[in-house]
């Protein structure tokens, strides 16, 4: 299949679905390309080409570690955020009797927890508040001395609320010092400051494609003192935790994408937050019935989740698409064959509310916000 | 007579459904089946279809028998297929092949199965009768392998067929899809949605020898590009059964729906109005394509628009017959077919149904034609249907299994 202009965005279109994926930074794409066309050696090979690839691997690991305030030896490259979450969830629970997760985890954690429950592990779910946050005290109450694992996402992927993961980790450790605390930071990376040296986490999941890297690349940070069982067995790469010849194009790209995201964050995060607020204000001013999901005081800089009573989410998405604005849609009820959103249900969004997630990135431009708001307002009016 | 050195040592025996062997249409049906079989194996280098008496011989090319069986197992009109050994028309050769076949079966099973032998002579000049051939071959298998004979419920049946040039020996028989060769019945226009029922309806008509064209009603922004892509993939799955491209007519339907909705008052008749408009559009597409009927996936009383009363009112919008092969199916029966024919997994992907648009919770289940026509009288329904056709586009969808 040829990939041509039909598959790409037009210059006048506005991409506000960065929570789903992001445009790959051309510098990152160039790095991945050179890892395929130039430094394509196997890092395990003993010769010069292997050494060159191994240096790239070392460099990428150092880039990720530096951005997180971690040691390079704590970084394991994976195929993405889902695999990083799976490695922690499955790797830390081989003999588990009890695990605790939040009530609005990404499916890669929620479904992994469900699989543990089917295996006979007791799973406690911590319900979020209507404002979209889970309380450290609730986790502290849920854990017991034998709890093997606690998992919580840092930024809720659908509604964008920031979870108090530091406080959660400390509260858990106070009750159960040997419990493995895993944090899904896929939506936090590049938006919130991350300093793992100071954290009480045991592991943390990352993904490249939410920060202008490619799909198919991610990483798990695993504290030196923590132990996990691998999901697959092989030639001992990644300290045996994730064997298989390293996916060098993705790894090189992830390293650079993480470095660029960390460099840009101090300037980009407050700018995204400002644009997000402008977007909200423009929409709320024109459409008095619009609701905002999640406590604004807890909002990550890049996500605006809004609801429209008595509308259907999918047609709204397509109406926006027709105006050149790309977003995500969801609702608490199932529109025909679509699955309802457990997150929206968990925070008490009524079934008849159509929800749009508008998600920004550091590449979102100021001039796009007013136009996007106009498009949302026009689409809602068309469909009302 | 072909050069024996060049004769492959194996082939696939293709048996066709007996039902159409009678009457004047027989040679027409047979020729169609041969043509379709040739199209089915067209992608296999060197594969060849030979017409014989009540059989097709499918000679393998470079790909061997498994690829050939895969290509032919979807050929409508085929009752069953047997991958067979090709041997000279000589009793000793037949016996040796049968013993070898059963020896392989014993190895595969890891134990001795009961068996019987069934023989058939296409060439009645062969010196031994069918019963005698069976007896001789059975005796060899008993003598060499010590397998027990069971003529009533054998675990394995050894087939022997004596043709004019070769004899064939087999133990495996794969059921074909049955039905009639695609193309013998005529062309129908299928109203294809992204759901479970309409692809099954299309398949059932293909099975009865119909050639399928498909019309899809696209209601952007109520249905998105993914729904159209999904319908296109469903059309490709149907194309793989009819062994020919499916022309998919994509009809932009939003404007028509809005006009109908605006006249429909409380909306209780909206679905009936939409579906009547779909019939008008599909009829125009059908007539232009030479199709003799419309087809839908409707099942009696499955949803509100599918009561007898509503089906009657919907059907009254066209003078073409509306074929509804799923009409008397329980949903589970249709789902079972969808799974078998490979459309189910695609059909259950999330999609948006344009008929759920602007529809109240309790739509009319007993529409009256007069009431519906009174609403339609406020619009120029023929002009709306013409406009839908004028703005429609064709997608030629290639077979995709």
What ipTM score was computed for the predicted complex, to two decimals?
0.82
CB contacts of B224 in chain A (<8 Å) are 314, 317-318, 321
pLDDT digits (tens, 9 = 90+) for B126-169: 999 999 999 999 999 999 999 999 999 999 999 999 999 999 99
Tell if the CB–CB gap between A337 and B221 is shorter than 8 Å: no
> Beta strand A218-222 with A203-207: parallel, antiparallel or unpaired?
antiparallel
DSSP A147-180: --EEEEESB-TTT-BBP-HHHHHHHHHHH-TT-E
**Rounded alpha-carbon distances, angstroms, from residue A175 to A138, A142, A259:** 12, 10, 35
pLDDT digits (tens, 9 = 90+) for B296-344: 999 998 888 799 999 999 999 999 999 999 999 999 999 999 999 999 9
Residue B123's pLDDT band (cuts 50, 70, 90): confident
Tell if the CB–CB gap between B221 and A335 is shorter than 8 Å: no
Nearest residue in chain B measured CA to CA from A312 = B222
Residue A338 has pLDDT above 80, yes or no: no
Residue B335, token pair as written in the block: 């789902």
Residue B2 has pLDDT above 60, yes or no: no
pLDDT of B357 reads 61
Tell if the CB–CB gap between A315 and B350 is shorter than 8 Å: no
Q: Is B351 on the interface with A (CB under 8 A)?
A: yes
Residue B27's pLDDT band (cuts 50, 70, 90): confident
**B contact test, residue of A334, A336, A354 with most B CBs within 10 A:** A336
Q: Is this model's pTM higher than 0.90 or not?
A: no
DSSP A237-297: TGGGTS-SS--HHHHHHHHHHHHHHHHHHHHHHHHHHHHHHHHHHHHHHH-TT-EE-S-GG
pLDDT digits (tens, 9 = 90+) for A142-161: 999 999 999 999 999 999 99
Q: Is A71 on the interface with B (CB under 8 A)?
A: no
Tell if the CB–CB gap between A317 and B224 is shorter than 8 Å: yes
Tell if the CB–CB gap between B352 and A317 is shorter than 8 Å: no
Q: Which of B221, B224, B351 sits opposite A336 (nearest CB)?
A: B351
Q: Which of B221, B349, B350 sits opposite A315 (nearest CB)?
A: B221
**How far off is chain B from A3, nearest CA to CA, in Å?**
16
pLDDT of B17 reads 80
Active site residue A179: no
Which residue intervals of chain A are DSSP H helices?
26-37, 48-68, 81-91, 107-118, 136-142, 165-175, 248-286, 313-322, 342-346, 366-383
CB contacts of A338 in chain B (<8 Å) are 350
Residues 6+ apart with CB under 8 A from A332: A340, A341, A344, A345, A349, A350, A351, A353, A355
Q: Is A334 on the interface with B (CB under 8 A)?
A: no
pLDDT digits (tens, 9 = 90+) for B197-215: 999 999 999 999 999 999 9
**How far off is chain B from A157, nearest CA to CA, in Å?**
21
How far does CA A337 lie from the centroid of its chain?
26
Considering only CA atoms, which of A317, A318, A196, A315 is closest in space to residue A258?
Answer: A196
Residue B350 has pLDDT above 90, yes or no: no
The SS3 of residue B284 is helix
Q: Which of A333, A363, A377, A378 is catalytic?
A: A333
Residue B1's pLDDT band (cuts 50, 70, 90): very low
**B contact test, residue of A17, A20, A312, A314 with most B CBs within 10 A:** A314
Helix B369-376 to helix B254-263 angle, to the nearest 10 degrees? 110
pLDDT digits (tens, 9 = 90+) for A300-329: 999 999 999 999 898 999 999 999 999 999
Residue A217 has pLDDT above 50, yes or no: yes
């Amino acid at each position: 299949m040829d990939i041509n202009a039909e598959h790409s965005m037009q210059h006048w279109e506005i991409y506000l679905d960065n929570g789903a994926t992001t445009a790959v930074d051309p510098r990152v794409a160039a790095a991945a390309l050179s890892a395929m066309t130039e430094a394509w050696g196997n890092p395990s090979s003993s010769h010069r080409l292997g050494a060159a690839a191994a240096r790239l691997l070392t460099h990428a690991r150092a880039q990720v570690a530096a951005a997180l305030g971690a040691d390079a030896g704590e970084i394991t490259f994976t195929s993405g955020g889902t695999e990083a979450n799976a490695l922690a969830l499955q790797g830390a629970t081989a003999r588990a009797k009890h695990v605790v997760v939040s009530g609005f985890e990404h499916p890669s954690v929620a479904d992994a927890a469900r699989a543990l429950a089917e295996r006979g592990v007791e799973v406690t779910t911590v319900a979020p508040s209507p404002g979209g946050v889970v309380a450290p005290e609730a986790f502290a109450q849920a854990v017991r001395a034998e709890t093997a694992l606690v998992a919580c996402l840092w930024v809720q992927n659908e509604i964008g609320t920031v979870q108090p993961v530091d406080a959660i980790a400390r509260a858990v450790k106070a009750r159960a010092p040997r419990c493995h605390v895993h944090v899904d930071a896929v939506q936090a990376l590049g938006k919130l400051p991350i300093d793992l040296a100071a954290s009480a986490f045991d592991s943390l999941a990352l993904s490249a494609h939410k920060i202008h890297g490619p799909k198919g690349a991610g990483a798990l940070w695993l504290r030196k003192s923590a132990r996990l069982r691998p999901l697959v067995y092989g030639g001992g790469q990644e300290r045996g935790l994730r064997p298989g010849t390293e996916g060098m194009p993705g790894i090189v790209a992830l390293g650079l994408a993480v470095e660029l995201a960390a460099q840009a964050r101090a300037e980009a995060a407050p700018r995204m937050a400002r644009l997000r607020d402008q977007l909200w204000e423009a929409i709320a001013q024109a459409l008095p019935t619009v609701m905002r999901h999640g406590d604004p005081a807890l909002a990550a800089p890049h996500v605006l989740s809004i609801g429209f009573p008595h509308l259907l989410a999918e047609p709204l998405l397509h109406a926006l698409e027709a105006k050149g604005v790309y977003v995500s849609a969801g609702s608490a009820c199932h529109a025909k064959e679509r699955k309802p959103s457990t997150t929206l249900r968990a925070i008490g969004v009524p079934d008849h509310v159509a929800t749009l997630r508008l998600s920004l990135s550091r590449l979102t431009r100021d001039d796009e916000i007013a136009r996007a708001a106009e498009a949302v307002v026009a689409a809602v009016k068309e469909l009302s | 007579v072909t050069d024996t050195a060049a004769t492959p040592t194996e082939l696939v025996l293709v048996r066709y459904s007996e039902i159409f062997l009678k009457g004047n249409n027989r040679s027409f049906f047979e020729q169609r089946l041969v043509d379709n079989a040739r199209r089915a194996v067209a992608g296999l280098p060197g594969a060849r279809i030979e017409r014989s008496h009540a059989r097709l011989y499918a000679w393998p090319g470079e790909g061997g028998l498994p690829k050939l069986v895969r290509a032919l197992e979807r050929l409508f009109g085929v009752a069953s297929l047997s991958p067979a050994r090709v041997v000279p028309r000589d009793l000793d050769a037949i016996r040796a092949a049968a013993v070898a076949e059963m020896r392989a079966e014993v190895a595969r099973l890891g134990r001795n199965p009961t068996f019987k032998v069934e023989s058939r002579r296409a060439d009645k000049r062969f010196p031994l009768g069918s019963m005698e051939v069976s007896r001789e071959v059975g005796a060899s298998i008993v003598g060499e392998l010590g397998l027990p004979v069971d003529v009533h419920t054998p675990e394995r049946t050894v087939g022997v067929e004596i043709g004019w040039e070769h004899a064939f020996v087999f133990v495996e028989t794969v059921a074909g899809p049955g039905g009639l060769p695609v193309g013998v019945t005529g062309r129908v226009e299928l109203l294809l949605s992204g759901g479970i029922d309409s692809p099954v309806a299309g398949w059932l008509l293909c099975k009865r020898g119909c050639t399928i064209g498909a019309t899809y009603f696209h209601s952007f922004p109520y249905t998105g590009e993914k729904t159209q892509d999904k319908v296109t993939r469903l059309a490709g799955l149907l194309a793989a059964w009819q062994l020919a491209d499916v022309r998919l007519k994509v009809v932009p339907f939003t404007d028509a729906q809005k006009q109908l909705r605006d006249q429909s008052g409380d909306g209780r008749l909206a679905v009936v109005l939409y579906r009547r408009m779909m019939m008008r559009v599909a009829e125009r597409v059908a007539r232009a394509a030479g199709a003799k009927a419309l087809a839908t996936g409707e099942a009696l009383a499955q949803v509100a628009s599918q009561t007898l009363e509503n089906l009657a009112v919907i059907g009254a919008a066209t003078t073409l017959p509306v074929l509804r092969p799923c009409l008397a199916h329980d949903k589970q029966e249709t789902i079972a077919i969808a799974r078998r024919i490979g459309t189910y997994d695609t059909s259950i992907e999330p999609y948006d149904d344009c008929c759920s648009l602007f529809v109240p919770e309790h739509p009319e289940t007993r529409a009256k034609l007069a009431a519906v026509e009174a609403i339609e009288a406020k619009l120029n329904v023929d002009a709306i249907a013409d406009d839908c056709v004028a703005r429609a586009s064709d997608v030629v969808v290639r077979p995709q299994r």
